[in-house]
Amino acid sequence: MILSDLLGSDALEADGRRVGGVVDVRLEISGAPAQLLAETVVTGVLVSPRSRVSTWGYERRGENGPVVIARLQRWLHRGSFLVSWDDVELVDEGRVVFRDGYERHDPMLPPAPKT
């Protein structure tokens, strides 16, 4: 599977109701060791109800600068949520279906470690 199979797909609930579009995918580098990096594993999909535009990374850490762009992004992607990969029932061409009783998570990541 490649990333573009998922990005831009319709996100549907088990009863077929559309809840938004897949705008991003959460990955974890924890698969089998490969040549450069370990293989990546999909851990979740980010669903935005109203926009298919890229989030430009604003959903992850609560970055709020520059104010104008951050506001615009937050408004475009209001109500977006993260669904864990375990809650994905079916992946088909152009659509991703979640299982009954799936959970909506906050897309925010834990704060960045101080460097």
Binding positions for other proteins, rule: CB under 8 A: 3, 7, 24, 54-57, 61, 63-69, 112, 114-115
CB of 32 to other proteins, least distance (A): 20
Could you tell me if 23 and 47 are in contact, meaning their C-beta atoms sit under 8 angstroms apart?
A: yes
CB of 15 to other proteins, least distance (A): 30
CB of 62 to other proteins, least distance (A): 10
End-to-end CA distance of the chain: 35
Angle in degrees, CA 110, 5, 41, rounded to 5: 40
Q: Which residue, 13 or 40, has its beta carbon nearer to other proteins?
A: 40
Q: Which residue, 32 or 67, has its beta carbon nearer to other proteins?
A: 67
Q: Which amino acid is at 53?
A: V
CB of 78 to other proteins, least distance (A): 19
Q: Which residue, 32 or 68, has its beta carbon nearer to other proteins?
A: 68
Q: Which residue, 65 or 101, has its beta carbon nearer to other proteins?
A: 65
Instruction: Report residue 74 as tokens.
Output: 């937050």
Instruction: Report residue 81 as tokens.
Output: 């949520």
| Three-state DSSP class for residue 68 | helix
The CA distance from 41 to 28, in Å, is 5
